[in-house]
Amino acid sequence: MYRLNAAIADSKYAIHIGSDVMHELKIILQPYKKILIVTDRNIQKKLFVELNQLLQNFACDLLVLEAGEEHKTWSSVNQILEFMHNNSYDRKSVLISFGGGVIGDIGGFAAAIYMRGVPWIQIPTTLLAQVDAAIGGKTGCNFYRIKNLIGCFYQPCAVFSETKYLLTLTDREYLNGMAEVIKCAFACDSEFFVWLEANLQLLKIRDLDTLERAIVQSCRIKLALVAKDPLDFGVRRHLNFGHTFGHAIEAVTNFREYLHGEAVAIGMMYACRIAVKMGLLARTFESRLYDMLSFLGLPTDLNDSTKVGLMYDYMLYDKKKHADELTLILPCALGEVRVVDGIKLKELKHDYVCI
C-alpha cells in the first residue's frame, strides 16, 4: 500500500493506492455531517455493497447517475447540484466521486461550483481513472457534444485508488487504462518502460501487487508534471503523446469503434512511425512499443487507408490549429518526447497515408 503526497498549486492531499486502502476513508470523513456519494448504475451494482458496509456508521446519501460518456453532460452536473441544494448541503458537507473518469469529472465539477467549492473526495474505480483522470484536478463535462468544453481545475481533499476494484472491469476497460500506463512510461520514464516489459504477463492477468506498482509510478510521473505545470500550458503536454491522433481517430469513427485508450494506442504508433521517418527515433524503440501493445491485445493500426486519410483530414481541419501546420508530441528516445512545431500536415498525409 502506497501513499503519495500531491502538492498542486496551493493544494496538498494524499493519494492512497493499493488493496485494502479504503479504511482510511473513515478517518477523513469524521468531520463531515453530510456526505454525498455520486456513482453510476454499473458501479452501484458491482461495488457499492462493500463501500456501504464500510460507511455503515455514517449518514451518507447516494446519487446514482446513468453510466457512460453520453451522460457526461451539464444535465448530470445539474442533477448533482439540485440534489445538494434540495438536501441542504453546504460547505461543511463533502461530495465523493465513486466511479470512473466520467463520474470523477462531473462530480468534481459539481463540487467545484456548488457554493463556490465544497470538499471533494475521489474514489476512482477504473484503471484509466486511477492513473490519469483522478490525478491533476481537471473537472468538467461535455457541452453541445464537444468534449470537456466546460469545466475547471479543482483539487480533491484525498484520492483512494483501491486496486481490488479493478478486478470487476471488463478486459477491454482494463486494457483501455493500460494504454495510458504504457503512454506514461514510453513518453516519460525509460526505466518504468523496461520494468513494464519485464512484468507484462503479470499485468495482463491483473496481479494486484504488480498493478499497484504500475499505478504508483504512473501517478508519480503525472504528479511531477502537473506540479510543474498545473494549468496545462507546458510540460504537462508531454502526456498528450499519441492524443492528437487518438482524438482524431475517436472523432472519425464517431466515438463508437474505439475506447479512448485504444485510440491513444494507435495514435502512439502513428507518432512513432512519423518520428522514425523524421530521424528522431530509432526504429527499435518503435518495435518495443508495438510488441508491448500487441502482447496485451491493444490495437496498433487503423488498418484501413480510408480511415487513415480521414484521421489526417480531421487533424488538418481541426479548428484548434492554425494554417496547415501542426504541433505534435513526438518521441525522440525511450522515455523522452519532444514538442515539435510546424509539422506540415498536408505533406504528412501524403507521405504517411499508406504506412
The footprint of ligand NAD (CB under 6 A) covers 40, 42-43, 46-47, 67-69, 72, 99-103, 105, 125-126, 128-129, 132-133, 136, 138, 148, 165, 168-169, 173, 176
> At its nearest, how many Å lie between ligand NAD and the CB of residue 330?
21
What crossing angle do the helices spanning 74-86 and 101-113 adopt, rounded to 10°?
50
> At its nearest, how many Å lie between ligand NAD and the CB of residue 99?
6
End-to-end CA distance of the chain: 44
Q: Hunting for cell 493544494 — which residue is that?
A: 11
- Closest to ligand NAD by CB, 119 vs 151, is 151
Which of 153, 151, 5 has the alpha carbon at shortest distance from 76? Answer: 151
- Closest to ligand NAD by CB, 71 vs 213, is 71
- Closest to ligand NAD by CB, 165 vs 312, is 165
> At its nearest, how many Å lie between ligand NAD and the CB of residue 329?
16
- Closest to ligand NAD by CB, 263 vs 345, is 263
> At its nearest, how many Å lie between ligand NAD and the CB of residue 293?
17
- Closest to ligand NAD by CB, 11 vs 148, is 148
Pairing between β-strand 35-40 and β-strand 11-18 as defined by DSSP bridges: unpaired
Which of 293, 225, 237, 217 has the alpha carbon at shortest distance from 262? Answer: 293
Specify burial of residue 201 (Cβ count, 10 A radius: 0-12, 13-18, 19+). exposed
> At its nearest, how many Å lie between ligand NAD and the CB of residue 249?
15
> At its nearest, how many Å lie between ligand NAD and the CB of residue 350?
32
Distance CA 94, CA 67 (A): 22
Distance CA 136, CA 231 (A): 9
Query: What is each CA distance from 168 to 162, 178, 215, 278, in whole angstroms?
Result: 12, 15, 17, 42
- Closest to ligand NAD by CB, 119 vs 140, is 140
Which residue has its beta carbon closest to ligand NAD? 101
> At its nearest, how many Å lie between ligand NAD and the CB of residue 88?
29
- Closest to ligand NAD by CB, 103 vs 328, is 103
Q: Hunting for cell 481545475 — which residue is that?
A: 153
Distance CA 77, CA 79 (A): 5
Scanning the chain, the segments in alpha helix (DSSP H) are 23-29, 41-54, 74-86, 101-113, 127-128, 171-188, 190-198, 200-204, 208-228, 243-252, 260-277, 283-296, 305-317, 345-352
CB atoms within 10 A of CB 353: 13
- Closest to ligand NAD by CB, 111 vs 274, is 111
Instruction: Report the chain's C-alpha Rg in angstroms.
Output: 20
- Closest to ligand NAD by CB, 94 vs 128, is 128
> At its nearest, how many Å lie between ligand NAD and the CB of residue 129?
4
> At its nearest, how many Å lie between ligand NAD and the CB of residue 213?
19
Sign for the pseudo-dihedral over CA of 301, 307, 312, 314: negative
Q: Are 121 and 158 in contact (CB under 8 A)?
A: yes
